[in-house]
A and B are shown apart, each in its own frame.
Chain A
């Protein structure tokens, strides 16, 4: 009797269960350690909703999600874009959405990709481990939604919307890169929120105390700059120190900050995360075929969609829109296995420790301990550089030409690797802006310093963002943009003759 699980492309719940069981069995043999899966079948319009809420299964209300929704809806209606086959949420249990339109093959692909690939990545990668808390995130979203809805009721939705706009403008500047907060549940969060509200208000009042002090006191105090060290986490700084915010406003700042922090690892592990998931759906489905559980028709459909997922258009192709993280990640993951299993002399020279080691544990090690930037720095091999024909250009606005500085040859490998890694380094991709000083004794103005990276100037949104910052801070904002030691640009909000936002 044939072992084939299904003959045609219709899916049923029984079939999904069967496939899931087989995929789980194979995943186990490869040591994929996952959260339990919660597979949810949804309609395409629900998928659009899921898209619009940018991966939050329970989101608070804001017009920007409405914009997102209209955008997705239009793209989908006009057939300009297909919807993703799945969305997966980093939570415990790990929620994966499957669309009802998918064929059985696609459902199996998605289960392998999301429920075992992404899921094990979420559970084991160090960034996710230290920055997100899968146990409590859904509870937190529920808390956030409720809190914001309550605020809308009490203080009016326009007020809340304005505040959220301002927080959203700064949300990429809401992460502590060096400390990891302790995870707490929603109930605790609620209790703490009240405690915190009261405590913070007391602290702030202290900082802004206006009662005059003795002359001797003042001399000492004036020497202290506040903050004593520059702060890169602008939202945190606002939450704790903004003089005029009410405690509910501080809590909303905190919510936006917390949610941004939850997404922070995802922004830094695109290549790895997609590469890992793609590698495993490819490996697992091939195993299903080898074990006679699926037929050729299934494999043809699977390979067709797999190869379009990992296609990398070249730079001069009309379809080119940057490096495809699926393609690069998948190629690198496979390459690691190849280096372990059948290293060439070149591999032995470049990866002495990796060549010939056990591929499975090496691959797990790579997945667990790197982010995109360091992963590329460590593992991008000459083979992959050659396969992708990567080359590096330098575009300097002071030079008349664009220079090709490295190509896929012996002299170029290291530089290409270095440059590509930098391309995934968030701290060079986003402007380095930090809180420098607050004029505590004077006009309470807030001074920010921007340190230019390779002379790259700030974009035209800057003033707009600073207006938002001004709304949160309540007093004047200064921004100095430095190139080395020299100030290149100064912005003051509110500017001359400019009314408050």
Chain B
């Protein structure tokens, strides 16, 4: 006797818990892999998961066993030319005969990595963790917050405020037709038969009349509207990005900026990008690098090329202003600026920067933030920017940071403003 059961509709992801436990256990490895991946990826490329590799030896579960050595006897199939008594030269790699996988050379891991995929959500999660983002912000970053309600069909269940009257009445009507059809047909027949014989006292006629009365009563008893006629509208929330945004990444690439400083800056830019992308339908990024002169470049060049020479910050601000004028009319674009630097600037240039920002740029921008990645004391540029922050607190922020974990506080200012301000008007 066999029972055949269709289990295909059973829940998915029976292994999800175990998978999570595995990820938790190897968090350190995964975080490292994510960190590496972040530096390899473009900042606009955060929408996919990642392959994570962990050295096999780190995840092996230990068990008693034999290692090579001693006397081993093995039976193998497919003998061709061997005769008993033959002596075969040992293959390179020492003992082990056919089994000789060995434990690899001294030069490193001989075994392959254990490689697996994490999803985009997990990827972001691990990256955010590095940045010590609070959970709420993580959620805001990883999901879209503005929604539009759209109709998504009709349902039998719902609350009274969702009642669809037309559909409910239509279905009640259909039910009434269906339930009464037979009786009405019969009534019609009876009426036809009784035509002209109303007064007759024949027993057949009397019976028909009685039946007619019963039918009328039954027909009258069919409820006009019933519980299961009710139809409700269902609505679905669709994510609704607002509109278009452009993000200007400005970075000092003079000799004093080392790769680590740039990596920190890169993470900051990534956060900003993710944030904008969740909130706007279309997000563009413009990279401007500068030393003594500024230039618009591709991302690759932005993060990974080095220049020598002095530093004139105002050159980048001028270029930004020019680009806005040419390509990003304020009426269409929400403009954000983010500047990263180690604080160096040409003497006498800082007042120019102040003027440029205060008069030309900030009126056009949603927000401008400056991060100084340095462990030395602040210089002139910082002092001028500080003044600017006092007068233009709602559109300008500056922070100094030394490490990855410092990035978030800067970012929070942006969020605070946004959650009070216009952007996230829908609230969540």
Q: A173-B64, A394-B73, A411-B84 are in contact. Are A69 and B90 (CB under 8 A)?
A: no
Contact A389 B64 (CB under 8 A): no
List residues of A (108-130) whose CB comes within 8 Å of B's CBs: 115
- Closest-by-CB residue of A relative to B10 is A46
Expressed in whole angstroms, the minimum distance between the Cβ of A70 and any Cβ of chain B is: 4
Among B4, B17, B22, B87, chain A packs the most CB atoms within 10 A around the CB of B4
- Closest-by-CB residue of B relative to A315 is B76
Q: A401-B87, A454-B72, A457-B69 are in contact. Are A71 and B95 (CB under 8 A)?
A: no
Q: How far is the CA of A472 from the CA of B408 in the complex (A)?
A: 43
Contact A71 B114 (CB under 8 A): yes
List B contacts of A408 (CB < 8 A): 79
Q: 1/0 per position for A64-104, CB-CB distance to B under 8 A?
A: 11111111011001000000000000000100010010000
Query: B235 in the interface, Cβ–Cβ < 8 Å?
Result: no
List B contacts of A48 (CB < 8 A): 15
Q: How far is the CA of A393 from the CA of B75 in the complex (A)?
A: 6
19 sample A-B contacts, Cβ–Cβ < 8 Å, listed by A number: A17-B2, A36-B2, A39-B3, A42-B7, A46-B14, A63-B24, A64-B22, A69-B19, A70-B117, A71-B116, A172-B64, A314-B77, A390-B75, A391-B76, A393-B74, A397-B69, A404-B85, A457-B67, A468-B62
Query: B204 in the interface, Cβ–Cβ < 8 Å?
Result: no
Residue from A42, A390, A397 within 8 A of B70 (CB atoms):
A397
Query: A153 in the interface, Cβ–Cβ < 8 Å?
Result: no
List B contacts of A168 (CB < 8 A): 61
Chain A residues in the interface with B (C-beta under 8 A): 13, 16-17, 20, 24, 36-43, 45-46, 48-49, 52-53, 61-71, 73-74, 77, 93, 97, 100, 115, 157, 161, 165, 168-169, 171-173, 312-317, 320, 323, 388-397, 400-409, 411-412, 416, 419-420, 422-423, 430-431, 433, 452-462, 464-465, 468
Q: How far is the CA of A171 from the CA of B63 in the complex (A)?
A: 8
- Closest-by-CB residue of A relative to B4 is A39
Expressed in whole angstroms, the minimum distance between the Cβ of A438 and any Cβ of chain B is: 19
Q: A455-B70, A465-B63 are in contact. Are A315 and B77 (CB under 8 A)?
A: yes
Query: B390 in the interface, Cβ–Cβ < 8 Å?
Result: no
Contact A74 B115 (CB under 8 A): yes
Contact A393 B84 (CB under 8 A): no
- Closest-by-CB residue of A relative to B86 is A404
Contact A39 B71 (CB under 8 A): no
Q: A404-B83, A423-B74, A452-B70 are in contact. Are A66 and B15 (CB under 8 A)?
A: yes
Contact A316 B78 (CB under 8 A): yes
Looking at chain B, what size class is its interface with the partner chain?
35 or more
Query: B98 in the interface, Cβ–Cβ < 8 Å?
Result: yes
Contact B78 A402 (CB under 8 A): no
Contact B64 A430 (CB under 8 A): yes
List A contacts of B409 (CB < 8 A): none
Query: B80 in the interface, Cβ–Cβ < 8 Å?
Result: yes
Contact A390 B79 (CB under 8 A): yes
Q: A315-B76, A408-B79, A411-B84 are in contact. Are A39 and B67 (CB under 8 A)?
A: no
Q: A312-B77, A402-B87, A433-B64 are in contact. Are A455 and B71 (CB under 8 A)?
A: yes
Expressed in whole angstroms, the minimum distance between the Cβ of A220 and any Cβ of chain B is: 36
Contact B73 A422 (CB under 8 A): yes
Contact B62 A38 (CB under 8 A): no
Q: A70-B22, A74-B117 are in contact. Are A64 and B73 (CB under 8 A)?
A: no
Expressed in whole angstroms, the minimum distance between the Cβ of A68 and any Cβ of chain B is: 8
Contact B67 A459 (CB under 8 A): yes
Query: B186 in the interface, Cβ–Cβ < 8 Å?
Result: no
Contact A419 B2 (CB under 8 A): no
Contact B74 A70 (CB under 8 A): no
List B contacts of A74 (CB < 8 A): 115-117
Expressed in whole angstroms, the minimum distance between the Cβ of B16 and any Cβ of chain A is: 9
Expressed in whole angstroms, the minimum distance between the Cβ of B97 and any Cβ of chain A is: 4
List B contacts of A52 (CB < 8 A): 15, 18
Among B18, B64, B90, B98, chain A packs the most CB atoms within 10 A around the CB of B64
Contact A401 B88 (CB under 8 A): yes
- Closest-by-CB residue of A relative to B71 is A454
Query: B151 in the interface, Cβ–Cβ < 8 Å?
Result: no
Expressed in whole angstroms, the minimum distance between the Cβ of A149 and any Cβ of chain B is: 10
Query: B89 in the interface, Cβ–Cβ < 8 Å?
Result: yes
Q: How far is the CA of A316 from the CA of B114 in the complex (A)?
A: 27
Q: How far is the CA of A406 from the CA of B85 in the complex (A)?
A: 8
List A contacts of B79 (CB < 8 A): 315, 389-391, 407-408
List A contacts of B23 (CB < 8 A): 66
Residue from A61, A404, A416, A423 within 8 A of B88 (CB atoms):
A404
- Closest-by-CB residue of B relative to A99 is B8
Expressed in whole angstroms, the minimum distance between the Cβ of A459 and any Cβ of chain B is: 4
List B contacts of A77 (CB < 8 A): 117
- Closest-by-CB residue of B relative to A388 is B77
Residue from A65, A401, A464 within 8 A of B62 (CB atoms):
A464
Q: How far is the CA of A311 from the CA of B76 in the complex (A)?
A: 14
Residue from B2, B5, B86 within 8 A of A41 (CB atoms):
B5
Contacts A41-B4, A171-B63, A455-B70 known; list 18 others, CB within 8 Å: A24-B2, A42-B8, A46-B7, A63-B21, A67-B114, A172-B63, A393-B98, A397-B71, A402-B89, A403-B88, A404-B84, A411-B84, A419-B73, A419-B75, A454-B71, A459-B66, A461-B62, A461-B65
Q: How far is the CA of A313 from the CA of B98 in the complex (A)?
A: 14
Q: How far is the CA of A130 from the CA of B305 in the complex (A)?
A: 71
Expressed in whole angstroms, the minimum distance between the Cβ of B4 and any Cβ of chain A is: 5
Contact B6 A66 (CB under 8 A): no
Expressed in whole angstroms, the minimum distance between the Cβ of A317 and any Cβ of chain B is: 7
Contact A402 B97 (CB under 8 A): yes
List A contacts of B68 (CB < 8 A): 397
Q: How far is the CA of A459 from the CA of B102 in the complex (A)?
A: 12
List B contacts of A40 (CB < 8 A): 4-7
Q: How far is the CA of A468 from the CA of B63 in the complex (A)?
A: 10
- Closest-by-CB residue of A relative to B9 is A43
- Closest-by-CB residue of B relative to A422 is B73
List A contacts of B90 (CB < 8 A): 400-402
Among A67, A74, A403, A456, chain B packs the most CB atoms within 10 A around the CB of A67
Contact A391 B82 (CB under 8 A): yes
Residue from A41, A53, A420, A455 within 8 A of B7 (CB atoms):
A41
List A contacts of B59 (CB < 8 A): 67
Expressed in whole angstroms, the minimum distance between the Cβ of B30 and any Cβ of chain A is: 11
Expressed in whole angstroms, the minimum distance between the Cβ of B363 and any Cβ of chain A is: 52
Query: B348 in the interface, Cβ–Cβ < 8 Å?
Result: no
Expressed in whole angstroms, the minimum distance between the Cβ of A162 and any Cβ of chain B is: 11
Q: How far is the CA of A246 from the CA of B20 in the complex (A)?
A: 28
Contact A169 B63 (CB under 8 A): yes
Q: How far is the CA of A64 from the CA of B2 in the complex (A)?
A: 34
